[in-house]
Every structure is written in structure tokens, then in C-alpha cells.
Amino acid sequence: MKHLLSIEGLDPAAARQILDRSAHFKQGRGAHATLPLAGQTWALIFSKSSTRTRVSFEVGISELGGHPLFLNANDIQLGRGEPIQDTARVLGRMVHGAVIRTYAQSDVEQFAEHSGIPTINALTDAEHPCQILTDIFTYEEKRGPIAGKVVAFVGDGACNVPLSWIFAAAKLGFELRIAAPPAYRPPLALLQRAGLTHVFSRPAAGDEVITGTAPNGGKVVLMGDPHEAAQGADLLYTDVWVSMGMEAETERRLKDLAAYQIDDALVALAKPGALVMHCLPAYRDKEIHASTFETHAATIFDQAENRLHTQKAILDWITS
């Protein structure tokens, strides 16, 4: 029984298979020779809002021959307090797989354990694995292998998206720089969990830069200066400053992260031809300048479209 609960738990060979098969599903859209989900019903259980993840899974499941069943967590008994274990044991008897968007990572893990059906993390507070697989597929279709490249994440470095990027860098052998204020950086223990063994720090103006490396060339660098992070990077990446569930902190976050906007001046420091990506939804003139967003809209909306193709590769891998 396979699950996709995190990038942390994903075997690098499986990640590579999903990335390579994404191109196959993109090219073959509308003419898939085999329908791996034929006769299957897949539940989508969402406790948080979604446009891309929901639509790409609903369309992807249908196009692979299956039937998607969207369940807003508030409309089922889960929203009234029925335990996740019982929800899992019931759905495991009725549907063939589950795609879950929620808060606690332990909820998707418990669902997988108790349902006995393939379970996919469609975003938790800890990780967004489907997003990062899509992002890497998008990078590679435009620029070739990501191994050895430099990805600069600028903004809230402690939310689900950069955390998944950390595990991806450690597994796939590229450098990830995270530029964020100290309170918005991932804990050092997470770098160790990712297998980044040689963790060391060097002083920087009033701050420190922490570096962890993996034997395959994977590297994660945590720093305060977005300019240093962008220098010579192959990909600049950002995400919202206020993730779902953090709305009460909006005012403080907008203030704390104001210096961490991707704008043209930051992009100018990156490698010529560097890509700019955003997982979306985007807040213009917050985490990304409005005109910078438009300059890179072709990449960003290719990235959004690719959610569909990569979800299909994930579904194909998980059911094979």
C-alpha cells in the first residue's frame, strides 16, 4: 500500500518516477492509453480552501477513469468531531483512495493508517508534497535536471511549502536557500531530520547563516538577507506570507516580512534567465511585486497547470 504523506517520507526513486511520468501525462492528455483509476471512487476531504489542488485532483481522477467525491470536512461528521480514525475506517470500506487537505500532519498519517487505502497529502501545516513535485517538474521541463541547481525561497520560510522544499533538496541533490527573518525560519532539527548532517553556521550582519549539506550534493542554507539568497540563483520562489490558519497573525506577518518581497531588483541578482515561481494564490505587492508577477506569469501559470499533470503521475504511481 503506497501513500504520499510528505516529501520527507518519499523515496527519491519514487519522486523521480513521478517527475518523469508527469511529462508523459502532460503530452498524452485526452488520449491516455490506460485508465489506472477505472471503476474507482476517490474521496477528496478538504478542511481548507483550494482552487488548484481541488480542481487538478477532480479533473485528474476523472481523466484517469475514476470518480472524485469532494467532501468539505465541515459537511461530514468529521467537522462535528467524529474522530479521524473512525472517518478513515468508514471511508476505507467505501472508496478506493483519499486526498486530504487539513491542518495537522498527524491527521493524514492516522487516516492512512486506519483506512487501508492509498492516501495523499493535499496540504497540511507541515508539508505540501504535491505542490513541490509539480514545481520541480515545471523547473525541469523548462531548464533540465534540478540536481546541482540553486533554488532561493524568499518569505515565510517556516510554512508548509518551504518545508517540503527542504526535504526535496536533501533527496534530489540541489541547493535550497531560504531567506527569512529569524522567527520565520524552519527549526534546525528539521534540517537534521532531512539528513543534512554537516550543519554549520557563519556570522552575518547581526544574524547568522546556517548551512546543512547532504552527501548527494543537497544543501540547505538559512539566512536573513534576500539579496544574498537571490545571488546567482536558478529559481526564485515565494509563497503567501499568511498561510491558511494563520489569519490572526496577518498584521504582524505583513510587517515582519515586508523586506522579503520578490521584485525586479531581486530577480536582477539571480542568474540570467532565472525562473520565478509562486505556488499561488498570489498577493500582489506583498510577497511579490505586481509587475514582477506579470513578467513571470507564463511560468507561474504553467506551474499551476502542471498541478494536473503531476497529480495524474502521483495517482498512477500510488495505484501501481
Catalytic residues: 101, 128, 131, 239, 279, 307
Residues lying near ligand CP in the complex (CB under 6 A) are found at 50-54, 123, 131, 279-280
Q: Is 94 helix (H, G, I), strand (E, B) or coil?
A: coil
Q: Which does 193 bind (CB under 5 to 8 A by kind): ligand NVA, ligand CP, none?
A: none
Q: Which is nearer to ligand CP, 14 or 280 (CB)?
A: 280
Question: Shortest distance, CB of residue 5 to ligand NVA, whole angstroms?
Answer: 16
Q: Which is nearer to ligand CP, 78 or 279 (CB)?
A: 279
Q: How far apart are the first and last CA of the chain?
A: 9
Residues 6+ apart with CB under 8 A from 53: 99, 101, 122, 123, 130, 131, 307
Question: Shortest distance, CB of residue 258 to ligand NVA, whole angstroms?
Answer: 18
Q: If we measure between CA atoms, which residue out of 316, 318, 275 comes closest to residue 138?
A: 275
Q: CB of 124 within 8 A of CB of 160?
A: yes
Question: What grid cell was written down for 52?
Answer: 488548484
The strand pairing partners of 262, in sequence order, are 288
Residues lying near ligand NVA in the complex (CB under 6 A) are found at 123, 128, 159-161, 239-240, 243-244, 279
Question: Shortest distance, CB of residue 59 to ligand CP, whole angstroms?
Answer: 13
Question: Shortest distance, CB of residue 206 to ligand CP, whole angstroms?
Answer: 34
Q: Which is nearer to ligand NVA, 100 or 123 (CB)?
A: 123
Peptide bond preceding 36 in cis form (omega within 30 of 0)? no
Q: Any idea which residue has 503530452 for its cell?
A: 27
**106-114 LR contacts (CB < 8 Å, sep 24+):** 108/5, 109/5, 110/84, 110/85, 111/45, 111/84, 111/87, 112/3, 112/5, 112/88, 113/88, 114/84, 114/85, 114/88, 114/89
Q: Which does 188 bind (CB under 5 to 8 A by kind): ligand CP, ligand NVA, none?
A: none
Phi and psi dihedrals of 289, rounded to 5? -70, 140
Q: Which does 51 bind (CB under 5 to 8 A by kind): ligand CP, ligand NVA, none?
A: ligand CP
Q: Which is nearer to ligand NVA, 40 or 238 (CB)?
A: 238
Q: Which is nearer to ligand NVA, 161 or 170 (CB)?
A: 161
Q: Which does 240 bind (CB under 5 to 8 A by kind): ligand CP, ligand NVA, none?
A: ligand NVA
Question: Shortest distance, CB of residue 38 to ligand NVA, whole angstroms?
Answer: 30
Q: Which does 160 bind (CB under 5 to 8 A by kind): ligand CP, ligand NVA, none?
A: ligand NVA
Question: What grid cell was written down for 90?
Answer: 468508514
- The CB-nearest residue to ligand CP is 53
